[in-house]
Structure 1
Amino acid sequence: MTSGRGRSRSAAAGIALVAAAFGLAPGHAAAADPLADRTLAADGSHIDHVLQRSDRQSVVSVYSSAMNRDIEVSVVHATDRSVPRPTLYLLNGAEDGVDQNGTEVSWETRTDIVDFVADQNVNVVNVLDGRYTYYTDWQSDDPMLGRNRWTTFLTQELPPLMDQTLGASGRNAIAGVSMSATSALALAESAPGLYASVASFSGCAQTGTDPGRRYLQAVVLSGGGNPWNIWGPDNAPAWTANDPATPANLERLRGTDLHLAAGTGANPAAAGGGQVGASSTALESTVENCTRALQSSLGELDIDAAFEYLPGGGHNWPSWQADFHQAWPGMARALTADR
């Protein structure tokens, strides 16, 4: 176990590495001192170290106090950093991120996100951890998937660190695909106002009822986890309380810029690449039904949202790239709008 003194040294070393890796001037490094004071005085979360990939790309290791371990996030820096820029948070699907062999499957490796945002003046933070977890706070530690406090990490620990480290504007958006399409909605609901814009592609938000609940449980089981460690047995109140699609939770999205998408008439040949074939078609058929049900629920509550149904879209990265391209103009407006 690392001592408090060891953690202090680690935090200080991390700040120095951040200053060097992010190209901060010596005077800027001194300005980072309050970051150490704040994290150590509060919950101890801090940036542990940084691996520079290029002048615009870094892999940042962030110590999460809630999970008591380091979490890797990939950062694409805004090209123009002359003024504070907004931040787009990206979440991967259930099987994506960095696997046990160190192979990365993510927004950066499966889409054109790095080139796409090159002239958009936005920072991008892609979480490379969290496979099969639904990016939520679990009630119990899991023998296979460990301690999961993702809501805490993504709404309380990570954003302040990224804002200070990147010199960001504090204006945020979040996008998720498949498993994390549900997570993006739930995270925005858990911290109203944190994300100005939310994009949810190919998700099944109704996690408190079937088939959405069974969909979630199947995903977690496929990763070796126990889904009942998340919110307890099927009939436990926490399943409804954490369902992003209940009227009470959807109300928390009122005023947020929302973009939701799914494929329709999924055609693997048309979608191309990624996860294709019968499984992709079946999955997208299920999430299309979930998405249309969510559209109806939002309509009944008179909450504005943009819905897109990609003809022939599958449950795969090429389709999600197309979804993102479609959603981005609206997201960009929300990120730069006056508060």
Structure 2
Amino acid sequence: MRRTAAAALTLMALVISGTGIARADPPTESTIVDMRDVSPNRSQLTVYSAAMGRTATVDVLHPADNGPRPTYYLLDGVDSGAGETNWTQKTDIVPFFADKRVNVVLPVGGRGSFYSDWERPDPGLGGVQRWETFLTRELPPLIDARFAGNGRNAIGGLSMGALSAATLTTRYPELYRGFAAFSGCLDTVSANAKLAIRNSIGWVGGNPDNMWGPDGDPAWAEHDPLARAAALRGKAVYISAGSGTPGPESLTDPLMPQAVTFGAVLEYLVRGCTETFQQRLRELDVPATVVLHPEGTHSWPYWQQDLHDSWPLLESALTD
């Protein structure tokens, strides 16, 4: 069943072209334009973002009843899904959360954006990128109002989404009770980290200078979770990385053989970043769960297991 927030809002979200037909003015505020119930525990939203001037798709896994519950925002990697998040396509996230009292919010899109507010529009990625504003200001009140959110939030992600989750938590510590980062290099300032970020954006067709400017731009440091790690004090923190050595799970990855070639090298590099972040947390005396797996490549079977393993820690932070 398809429910429309209001016919007028739907019309305003459409681009109408043709002789003598003017384009409708978009809404002035962010709003849920449309909601489709996929199942009693899953809905897909079309959300108009005033910051980006366009709609975004958001999947929500949720309890069937309307009682109050917390919310877990979960972010994709650099090559995010089209039409549906990779989390629902490549893991068991839907059945895993089916019996859990939490809203799981899965933004669709954000490919190569690092879920940040970019300094300039990027034609290669689809124009204006204001994902930070969307995720921290526009979306939470809409989710809470529609899905009985109680104002308690956590955030997580893999690879690009792992860095983004750490960045958003350190920039908005009042918004999140904890975060989970799977196979992410939680650093934006070192030369290797900048190179990795730039290459990731370029790989999906974006111009990295449009995000935080050239390497000397202060915006790079402003988004660095390593430098802002003290903001994690009192949060639930779960960070994981593999070693780069393929384990038996690698044989089940649908992206074989990349999972044991490119994925192995990438995870080996991520391991070093994770150890650096772990050392920084120790220096600050910030408690954290850091899991350094003896095996594991940059691939989905390991992230699915990390999703399962990290949930008890985040659930405790969201319900205490």
TM-score scaled by structure 2? Answer: 0.88
Match of 1:75 among 53, 57, 60: 60
How much does 1:9 deviate? 2.1
In structure 1, distance between residues paired with 2:317 and 2:85: 28
Taking structure 1 as reference, are residues 296 and 59 closer, same or farther at Cα in structure 2, changes over 3 Å only?
same
How much does 1:336 deviate? 0.3
In structure 1, distance between residues paired with 2:34 and 2:66: 24
Taking structure 1 as reference, are residues 129 and 300 closer, same or farther at Cα in structure 2, changes over 3 Å only?
same
The aligned counterpart of 2:72 is 88
The aligned counterpart of 2:277 is 294
In structure 1, distance between residues paired with 2:105 and 2:33: 16
Q: Does 1:129 align with 2:109?
A: yes
How much does 1:165 deviate? 0.6
| Secondary structure in structure 2 of the residue aligned to 1:97 | coil
How much does 1:270 deviate? 3.9
Q: What amino acid sits opposite 1:58 in the alignment?
A: S
Runs of 4+ aligned residues of structure 1 deviating over 3 Å after TM superposition are 11-14
The aligned counterpart of 2:210 is 229
TM-score scaled by structure 1? Answer: 0.83
1:200-225, CA deviations, whole angstroms, 9 ceiling, x for partnerless residues? 00001111112111110000000111
Contact 2:250 2:296 in 1 (8 A): yes
Taking structure 1 as reference, are residues 214 and 334 closer, same or farther at Cα in structure 2, changes over 3 Å only?
same
Percent identity, aligned pairs only, is 41
Q: What amino acid sits opposite 2:271 in the alignment?
A: E
Q: What amino acid sits opposite 1:94 in the alignment?
A: V
The aligned counterpart of 1:143 is 123
Match of 2:41 among 56, 61, 68: 56
The aligned counterpart of 2:92 is 112
Q: Does 1:312 align with 2:295?
A: yes
In structure 2, distance between residues paired with 1:44 and 1:115: 34
Contact 2:74 2:107 in 1 (8 A): yes
The aligned counterpart of 2:23 is none
The aligned counterpart of 1:160 is 141
Match of 1:267 among 246, 252, 268: 246
Contact 2:296 2:302 in 1 (8 A): yes
In structure 2, distance between residues paired with 1:207 and 1:265: 22
Contact 2:85 2:107 in 1 (8 A): no
Contact 1:271 1:312 in 2 (8 A): no
Query: Unaligned regions of 5+ residues in structure 1, if any?
Result: 1-6, 15-39
Taking structure 1 as reference, are residues 200 and 274 closer, same or farther at Cα in structure 2, changes over 3 Å only?
farther
Q: What amino acid sits opposite 1:219 in the alignment?
A: S
In structure 2, distance between residues paired with 1:132 and 1:301: 31
Q: Does 1:44 align with 2:44?
A: no
Contact 1:13 1:49 in 2 (8 A): no
Contact 1:11 1:46 in 2 (8 A): no
Which residues in structure 2 correspond to 1:318-333 (within 5 Å)?
A: 318-333=301-316
1:187-244, CA deviations, whole angstroms, 9 ceiling, x for partnerless residues? 1122112111200000011111121111100000001110011111111221112111
Contact 2:162 2:184 in 1 (8 A): yes
In structure 2, distance between residues paired with 1:96 and 1:213: 20
Which residues in structure 2 correspond to 1:248-267 (within 5 Å)?
A: 249-267=228-246
| Secondary structure in structure 1 of the residue aligned to 2:174 | coil
The aligned counterpart of 2:156 is 175
In structure 2, distance between residues paired with 1:162 and 1:12: 22
How much does 1:274 deviate? 4.2
The aligned counterpart of 1:303 is 286
1:126-159, CA deviations, whole angstroms, 9 ceiling, x for partnerless residues? 1111011100010011121111111101000001
How much does 1:73 deviate? 0.6
Q: Does 1:282 align with 2:261?
A: no
Contact 2:169 2:179 in 1 (8 A): yes
Q: Does 1:216 align with 2:197?
A: yes
In structure 1, distance between residues paired with 2:96 and 2:12: 33
| Secondary structure in structure 2 of the residue aligned to 1:48 | strand
